[in-house]
Amino acid sequence: MLSPNSLANFSMPKISHQQLQDVADLLMAAALSDGHFHDKERQTLLDELAVAFDFDAVPQDIAETCSTFDERKFTLSDSAASLRELTDETKRAILKLIARISVADGILDLRENVFLMAAASAIEADKSLLVQLVDERVATIRLPDSN
């Protein structure tokens, strides 16, 4: 099992360029799901994609798409379609990417959790994968010190 911070030690299997585009779209939609988007989230998104897929840099067209992403044109079912055929481990890694992008701004928002669950359903991830991921997210939440 991957620890919450071990994605850097895990390289996903090769996926098609279309699947990479669809993962980037899912990540952009995840970052926007809380109603705001910061440059830090975009950079984290690009960094996480590069690490996960073992790129020196994300392909230019994918980076440009992330810069010009229009959430009004995004359809979860369309972006998830090409990802349904992936292995459970690859789907889990994609869901971990979504979770990491969701908290890149330092805020855990309920809307981001709703998006994560919807994405898991849309890519037809095994329910046990989502349960494991939620358990990992809950385990990493730190409550503020009460002084």
Q: Is 135 exposed, middle or buried (0-12, 13-18, 19+ CB in 10 A)?
A: exposed
Distance CA 88, CA 2 (A): 13
**Owner of token pair 């503020």:** 144
Of 32-41, 66-75, 87-96, the one with minimum mean pLDDT is 32-41
Would you state the pLDDT for residue 1? 34
Dump pLDDT digits (tens) for 92-107: 889 989 888 887 777 7
Contact 46, 66 (CB under 8 A): yes
Helices and strands in the chain, H and E counts? 7, 0
The closest of 68, 77, 57, 66 to 28, measured between CA atoms, is 66
